[in-house]
Every structure is written in structure tokens, then in C-alpha cells.
Structure 1
């Protein structure tokens, strides 16, 4: 470990704190060393909020340090039985467990909370108020004040949005201290400056066509954003900038800003928000993918937006811009030109080729990705340098953004001559498939859309418009998606005719293969092992795994095909930890491109995020944990004159029985924070039991619509009415959204079977005793539950669990809740017969292999047929 990493580890061992580091400075390494410190002792440590890939990487790192799995990290899966989990907790160790499972185990006393030595929160930037992690930490701190809590994160920008975000996060994590370690910290800067500085920055210019496409896409995005701002002038959204629009988080920020008024936004504006995401993807695809793949994305968008006449699908309005016409045309000409186009006469004939399955009037241009040739030149330089300086070469590591780029580079480096031609052949085959799909749909010919557009004046297709200057000016006007679609269909007409010569070649090839004789070593030949020093490895950026990749592979040459600030710091750490290795880094970036702007924006945003965190840390109020009320405090409160005129009445703690499936929502943590004792239980009827008489079925808006459509809500109300005197249907809204089921204009005058209000009306007519409670948020639901429980007795968990069970003595508490939910949601399954299926088959995989006759024998002829048809239906 480097000096600053050792200092961070020492600070973590001394006090509970939230560690926030710059990405790439070795958070994963510090985290694994912290776990390694606690593997030697008999400690019970719980790890929360990690992914399956991160758990595997942690286990791999600990194994490399000589720590076996039994003494290292053990993963508790969702299908681990409760008895097994309880036994594992008693044996101590380090366990990675989901927060939902741990919350249930803490509430049911399966895990001895007083014996927990500590809880570690990874990816702390993902923690939100009233989450399952919040509930776990509340229970843990109420029952154990001695154990430690540590939190780790390398996303500083996630702690800068909202009001006092750092202070609120510390309050959720039950912490009072934060450790900030940016790249510009003095110790970090000194440690990383000791490594060798052989970095070669290569600024690759874009081709004229790419530059033209980029400018046109930027213009389309800016115009679309200005249209969104104009349509939502009442909402103050400072994030509507082109720089922020380059990041994936932009879509989420825009949706969060517009959610409170989403029901008032016009459908056109909602479509514009989706267009921003598409344009951002196209800007990224321009520099990441080749010309053929990029053009196929554009043609897919055109086909999607060129719906037949009479379709209700909305078209993207940016496609009607002049800029859209420019970049669509430029993208197509990077792949092919027509012999009838004026550009064909200007293009040198030796640069045009005729590929397989290509129409006669088309010539392929096949513009090569500029970085491909640069990468090949770099590899040739490395090969010459490694051969000169060493006897056996040196390992080379190439880092890219995604797996598609990784695969393309592997194929290009393996056979660069015919790679673009093969891509072109697949491209025209794909277009042929689209043509056949269009023929099946048989859409009528349509001209440009006559709907009004905010981007420019569009004339109805049935009106003749005289254009001064004749056809030359008219042809220069931007084409509509329908016009592009018709042009592509005309181009593809010749592709649907089978080629007899191609079929003849395939037949001859089959005859040759049939007459060939193979030896013993032809099918399974013996391969010689390639030494690591001769390997050129192409990998994707994978955050924590990148540290292990550098340690295991030990590359001498590192090529950053796509720029990434986090990986640059990982390379700095790698060079500082291996000063004896002469490491050379090639940094590739497009000059004056959106790729460069995005990289610089990432660096600047991170620096500003740490500056905000440092400022907030200096002025924020230290969170103080509120201790739970003692029995003496409760006695004083009960005899106060404010409560019943001074009557002495000690009531038991309010209890709510919660179904296991409800621990996916934020309501159980809110109930617990309000002093309500929640008891997890597998309920057959209802979601929340407030008293022996009150049963509540909670529905979010999406779940309500789905349950009404499938008829499941009708069955649930029938069961509640049968077993409880006061059945309640709770319809809960999201706090960030409007408290409105649907617009007033959408409410029908008469009952319509497809309308949601009509379905609710029919439900109340069928069950007049059902109470419907409308809640604007989970916080309001908590207040409603407390009021409903005021004059009722406390419920019994054992009695509530047996309600609706056919054979209470045969209840199986070892059944996993998630597969049971999937089974009960299938057609033909109801509350009476699902247990018959669960007894007959072990899991869903075995259910899928069960024959129809067996299912009909188990649950009946009609339900069995419905279930079998649902599982095996292909359309």
C-alpha cells in the first residue's frame, strides 16, 4: 500500500467514518485491506450494498492474499434458508448479505445484534432515506452502541445535490465523521508524483464527415433542450445545459425535476425528454463505433419514427431540422453512395468498392474509424520498441468503454483488410430483413407529417407549394423520416432477390466439406501456450476490477483507447506501486470533439464536488443520534395531563405485522422510525395487519393498474372481506409526483371497462365494505396507520400468518418469497391451488419442464391448461 492508503486505513480503524475518495485512487484496495484486518479474529461483520461482481472480486483478492473463503468473505444468497443463515451468524465471520434479508433477520432476532462487531456499507453514495440500509442501521444502533459502522464511496459528485446532502447522508449512516481524499490532497499528490512520467498523448483529428455529423447533432440537442425549457418555463431547471446533457445522469435529473408536474406536461414535451437521451447516445456512438454501425443506429431511429399513416406513435421533431438532414446524409455517405448522386462524380473511383449482396447502383465508401489506424500504428511502435529493448517482448493492455468496441477491435486487429467489408455485408443483410418486415406490415405510402412543429413551419402533404428556384431548391430542403424510409425501401428492392451464383457457391462448399478427411489432430489440435509478454489484451473499464486487472496482468504498455479519468488515476497508483517497471501510457482522444469535452467536464465536476464537500464539512452541524425513549420517559409521558387528563395508562408498544414482500418498499423503515414495532411475516391475506380486525392491502399506482388489469386485486379484496371485519385498500402515491390518479379530462362520463376509475368503481360496487384510503406519500401512510391503531388491539403474528392457509399445520416457512410471488402471478394459479404446485415441484425450472397432463392433474383441467400455455407460449 502507498503512504496515503496506509494513512486512510489507520484513520478508519481508529474511528467510525464515511470515506469518500476520488475514483481510481484505490478505494477497493483500501476496502479489501480493511476486511483483511478482521479475518484473523472471531468477528461477526456484515457487509451491505455490494453487487455480485464486487463480492466475487473481494473473494478473489482475499484468496490472493492467502485467506480461504471460510475465513474470508462469505456470501448469503437470497435462497439461503433462514435456519442456515442463523447458524452462519452464530459461527461469526464476514458476511455479504442484502439489506432486505438482514432487516428481516434483525427484526426476527435470527442474528444476535448485540454480538455484531460492525457493519460495513459499500457504495455509500447509493444510500437513500427510508431505505432498507437505513432500517438496518437504525435497528443495529438501537440494540448495539459498541459495534462500528464504516462507509465507503468513490463518487463525490453524488454527495453534492440537494440540501445539505453530506449531513443528511451521515445522519442516515449513523456517523459523525467524514474522510475526504481528493486527487489534489497533498499526501496523494506527493505519492503519485514519484512514478515515471512517460505518457504519450495522441490527439486524433476527426474526419470531415464526423466533424459535420457532430456539429449537426450538437445543434439538434441544443434546439431540443431550448424547446424543453420553453415548454416548461414555470420550472427552474439550471441543469438544462449541453455540458450536463453529455452524461447519463442527465436523464434522471431532468425526470426528477419534471416529476412533480409530469401530469401537466404535454405528450410532445415528454417525447422531447426521450429525444434528449437518443441524441446523447448518438453523440457517444459517433466516436465509439464504426461508420456502418453508426449508420445502422440512425436508420433504426428513422424506421421507428416513420410510422404508417393513422398510427398514434409520436415522431421525434428533431428529425425535421435542417441539421438532422445534414448528419443523416453525411452518415449514409460514410458507408455508401449512389451512382446517381452528384457526390459519386466527385469521389475518386479507386476509393469505391462493390461488396457482396450490394445493389448495382450503390458503391461502398466504407470510411474507416480514425482511431483504428492510430491504434495499429501504436501497436507497431510498441512491437519495435519491445523487440529492441527486451528479448521476449512485453504485455500490452488496451482499455475501451464497452464490450461492442472491445469485440470490434479484436476482429479488426485479427483481420483488418476485410473487416469493413464483412460489416457491410452484415449491414445489407440486416436491411434486407427490415425490408421483409416492412412488406409484411404493408404500410400505405405517406408523405411528411402535417402536424405542427415548434422547430419550423411544415406544410400539409396535400398542399402544393411552389418553391422559387425550381427543383434544385426543393431538393435542398430537409427530408422527413417518411421520405428517408421510402428511399431506403427503394434501395433495398434489389436485395430481396436471391442470387443463384451465391447459392451455387454454397452448394460447392458443402460438397467439398463432405469429401474432406480429418486426422486425429485436426478437430482437437495441440496448442502452444502464448507467453504473457506476447499478449495484447483488450478490456473494458469495470471500476473495481481494473485494480485487480493491473495487478494480475502487470502491463508494460497501456493504451487508453477511450479516455477515463478514474482509470488514469489507477494507472498512476499502479506506476507508484511498481517504480521498477518502465511503464508507457498512450492516451488517445479525438481533438476538438465532444469526447474531449466530456472528459474535461468529468475532471472539473469532480474537483468542484470535492470543493463543495470540503466547504460543507467545515460548516455543517454534526449529526447527533436520537436515543430511543426509556421506560421512565414513557411513564412520564403516560401520566402527563396532556394525555387523557392525567390518566395512568401504560399501553404496549404499537405493533404492525408486515408481509415479507413489503420490505422492498420504503414504508417499513418509516414505520420503525416512528416507534412502531414491525413484525415480518409471510401473509396469505393482505400486506399490513394493524389489528385483529384491520387488514390493509397496499398498492402503488403501477401495481394498482396491473392488479386491476389482471383481476388479482379482485381476489385479494375477496380474501380480505372473508377473513377481516375492516378490509382496507390503500392507494399510495409517490411523494415526488403529483397526488392525482389521472387528469380530469381523462375521466369518463360512463363506466368504461378499460378505464382505471371505472374499474375502481366496479370494485367498490362488488365489495361495498372495502374502505379505500388515498395516501399522498409513505410518510402520510405512517400517520394514517398510527391513527387507525389508536382504538384497536394489537395483532398477533401467528394468527395473522395462518389466515387464508388451507392447512395451517403444514405451513412451510422455508419457502423463498420471490419464486412464490412469480408462481402466484401466473395464469391459472390462485390462492387455493398454488400450494399444490409448490409441493409437487421443487423450483420454477422444474415447473417449466412439467407436462400439461401433470399440471391438469394437480390443479384441474382448465387452470392447468392456462398455466402450461403461459409457460410455453412463444408469441
Structure 2
């Protein structure tokens, strides 16, 4: 079934014979839109070439949706690569079908005139956000347009945030692709919002509080960010109103700073450029604080200390030592061999000097703990603070399992009647592959074992 707003997008594209640039919000199924567009292609129109996307995932999704939307559509687009001989590629170019083609072999065939451009009905490009004046795709379009002005060029992207980076990114993209019209489809567009609100999911928001040391690290990072922003305001080359700590917590902050500084980047001094890099590093530290475990976070901090200790500005700020100190306390602390924490007994280590008026003599009173602390060795004791969200995730999965057991009898009755039910898959979405692997270990094993494995790898450094 084709979505309603997909139909409107396709209608707008078909009305313009020159083609167009379509910018979708992420998550609006770009692969399904491309598949619906390919189903309308006819061999009488000519051959349709799709520039192979950098990710093979998008190509496999397009093929999947082609089979789903039209089960009778057996002509899944093949890929033209350099492995095919010239005569074979020529026969494919004139077949009138749909093909994926690598940009490298397409530009070679264009330059060597092995491609009969008159038989090509159009080009589809799937990575508009990464196109620039010097990219291979822009060169392909320029050569193709010079020999075939009747074919269409349809370009797509589902990364709108990448289209605002730099100076006039969207205008320059349209110019280098020889396209006159751009179609914007955000989530708040009428047809898109109606589709999303048709079957809204039940959302339960669970707020996971951070531990004491995590809160301390967060406050220290914000304090260091504020110090860096104050230094950047002194340059008088950026809009002061946008440079606030509140804006620095959002993803769009990097784009705000880059948009202001890109036109004058070559005129900035070394310190200003370093401050921009430091703000990006501090934003990463805020993100990694809640994403990774304590040991990985400390290891990343140690890497930063080695790589940026001489040139960075933030590492010499007053509050930066708290970041490293609290990160260490999440992993280990120092104790005496008798079990007393070193930071608790260190208060009495310092000798107390007391002046006594009399025969101009001074008497010194040493604390008893100062002598005993020297007699005991210092031992490193592991803390291995567990990430707060790990416990919450395990609790949720246990709750789901309890609900399954309660509904077990009902499910058996439904299966006995011959009706299909869902397979009960629980999908846990993560931001990156590392988090997925870590959570997989955390679910199958206990969180303490997972952190202990990481601390063994890190123990040599400590």
C-alpha cells in the first residue's frame, strides 16, 4: 500500500519533466518512496539508472519494498558494475529496464561514449546531502546534461539537517545538479502529519536519574562549556545571542556555529578554531556520559588527555579536573590495605602545627592518623558503577516477560483455534553498533560481569 504523502510526492515529480530535489524528514521511508516510483516506470520510456547508494542497506530495502508492493513484479533491478564487459553493459543500457549503477563505471562510460545517452530516460540519485560541486555525482550530471537535455534528474535525501551545513548548501546543490525545483516534506506537513497521526503508538516515557558522579561530571562539563563560550564571545565574529549553554545542549548547535563561521573560517585565529573544536569535544562528552559505561568513558577521557593535552583550551579550565576525578571514582577508588578509604583518612594526614606562647618555643602536635597511614599500603579497589539505564532496561524486559506468562493461557487458546499471533519480539533501539553489542552482553549476562570485562581490558592503563 502506497502512503498518501508518497503519492503526492510522486505526483509533483511527474509533473516536472526536468526532475527535482526531494528532501524528506528522517523516518519517512525513503526506500518505499523510491520503490513506488520505480513501479511506474515503463520500458517504453527508456532505461532508468539509479546511482548505487553508499550503503547497501538502502538498496536491499528498495528491492524488498518492490516485492512487497507488487508481488508480480519479478524484475528486481540488477547492478551494473565494472565486472560486466562493454558489450553486455551496452545491451543493458538499451533494454529499457531499471538498473543500479556505480558512479565510477557510469562516468567512465559517459566519458568514453560507451553509453547511448539517447536511450536513458533519467537518473535517480539517493544521496543529495553529500553532493558538492566537486563530487562524482555532480560531474556525472554535468556531462549527462550536456548530451541529453530531455531526461529527468531526480535526487533524494532523508537527512535534512545535512542540507543546511555550510554556506547556501541547498542552492549550491540545485545548481550543480541542474535542477530548478526543490520539494520539502517535513513531519509537520499536512499529509505527513495526518499519516503519522492515523495510528499513533502508545508512548511511555521513563526518566532514568543519573548517579551522583554522573551529575557531577555533567555540571563540570557545562561549566567548562560556559568558559569556552565566554572566550569565543570575545572574538566579536559570531552572533552572541546564539552562543549560550542552553543552545549548546542541542544537536543543532554545531550547525549554528558552523553556519556563522564557515564564510569567515579562513580569517579566524588559531585559538578560535580550537574553541570550536573544544565545544564539539565537550558535546561528545555529554553524549557519551549517558551512552557508554563508566570504564569506556574513563578510557575515552584518558585518550583525550593524551591527544589534546597540549593544544586544547578546555582541558586547562578550572572545572575540567572534576570531569576526570568523578570519572575515576565511577570505576575505582584508592583505599588502605586495612580497608579505610584514602580520601576519608587523608584529612588527618596533614600535620597540625600549633604555636604556644612561652619561652619563644613552638610545639608541634601531629595527628595520630598521619603515622598510621604511612604504615599501611595503598590498594586500588574497583567500584564498577553500573549504567543507570541498564537496570531500567532489565526491569522492563522482566516486566514484559511477566506479562507474557500471564497471557500464556490465552495465547494457547488462540493458537488452538488456528489464528496467528505476533511472535512477541521486543525491539531495543540503540544509537550505534557499540551500544547494541554492549546491551546484548548486559541482557545475556549480568551488568557487573560486563563492566568487569571492560575493567580487565582497562586495568593495564590504570
TM bucket by the smaller chain? 0.7 to 0.9
1:97 and 2:104 aligned: no
Aligned to 1:398: 428
Alignment of 1:494-509 (within 5 A): none
Q: How far apart in 2 are the matches of 1:198 and 1:234?
A: 46
SS of match in other structure, 1:361: strand
What CA RMSD, in Å, does the superposition of the two structures yield over aligned residues? 3.3
Structure 1 gaps, min length 5: 307-313, 347-358, 432-491, 493-875
Aligned to 1:30: 33
Aligned to 2:10: 9
SS of match in other structure, 1:216: helix
Alignment of 1:394-433 (within 5 A): 394-416=424-446, 417-429=448-460, 431=461
Instruction: Select which of 310, 316, 319 maps to 2:312.
Output: 316
1:261 and 2:267 aligned: yes
Shift of 1:339: 1.3
Instruction: Select which of 323, 335, 341 maps to 1:327.
Output: 323
Instruction: Select which of 132, 137, 152 maps to 2:136.
Output: 132
- Cα 1:78–1:209 change in 2 (3 A) is farther
Alignment of 1:277-676 (within 5 A): 277-304=280-307, 314-339=310-335, 341=341, 343=343, 361-390=379-408, 391=411, 394-416=424-446, 417-429=448-460, 431=461
Shift of 1:8: 2.4
Contact 2:93 2:119 in 1 (8 A): no
- Cα 1:24–1:166 change in 2 (3 A) is same
Contact 1:334 1:367 in 2 (8 A): yes
Shift of 1:274: 3.5
SS of match in other structure, 1:362: strand
Q: How far apart in 1 are the matches of 2:52 and 2:236?
A: 39
Instruction: Select which of 175, 187, 193 maps to 2:191.
Output: 187
Shift of 1:377: 1.1
SS of match in other structure, 1:418: helix
Aligned to 1:117: 121
Contact 1:42 1:93 in 2 (8 A): no
Q: How far apart in 2 are the matches of 1:261 and 1:289?
A: 37
Contact 1:55 1:75 in 2 (8 A): no
- Cα 1:67–1:73 change in 2 (3 A) is farther
- Cα 1:18–1:163 change in 2 (3 A) is same
- Cα 1:41–1:369 change in 2 (3 A) is farther
Q: How far apart in 1 are the matches of 2:453 and 2:144?
A: 60
Instruction: Select which of 199, 204, 216 maps to 1:200.
Output: 204
Q: How far apart in 2 are the matches of 1:209 and 1:114?
A: 67
Structure 2 gaps, min length 5: 347-376, 413-422
- Cα 1:175–1:299 change in 2 (3 A) is closer
- Cα 1:400–1:96 change in 2 (3 A) is same
Q: How far apart in 1 are the matches of 2:167 and 2:324?
A: 43
- Cα 1:83–1:4 change in 2 (3 A) is same
Q: How far apart in 2 are the matches of 1:94 and 1:294?
A: 48
Shift of 1:257: 4.6
Aligned to 1:215: 219
Shift of 1:376: 0.7
Alignment of 1:759-774 (within 5 A): none
Shift of 1:345: 6.9
1:72 and 2:103 aligned: no
- Cα 1:39–1:369 change in 2 (3 A) is farther
Q: How far apart in 2 are the matches of 1:80 and 1:254?
A: 47
Contact 2:43 2:95 in 1 (8 A): no
- Cα 1:372–1:130 change in 2 (3 A) is closer
- Cα 1:344–1:382 change in 2 (3 A) is farther
Shift of 1:56: 3.7
Contact 1:220 1:321 in 2 (8 A): yes
Shift of 1:4: 2.1
Q: How far apart in 1 are the matches of 2:108 and 2:330?
A: 58
Contact 1:44 1:92 in 2 (8 A): yes
Q: How far apart in 2 are the matches of 1:161 and 1:255?
A: 11
Contact 2:210 2:388 in 1 (8 A): yes
SS of match in other structure, 1:200: coil
Q: Structure 1 length normalisation: TM-score?
A: 0.43
Q: Structure 2 length normalisation: TM-score?
A: 0.77
Contact 1:89 1:111 in 2 (8 A): yes
Contact 2:228 2:275 in 1 (8 A): yes
SS of match in other structure, 2:49: strand
Q: How far apart in 2 are the matches of 1:305 and 1:149?
A: 45
Q: How far apart in 2 are the matches of 1:240 and 1:80?
A: 54
The number of equivalent residue pairs is 407
SS of match in other structure, 2:114: coil
Shift of 1:273: 4.0
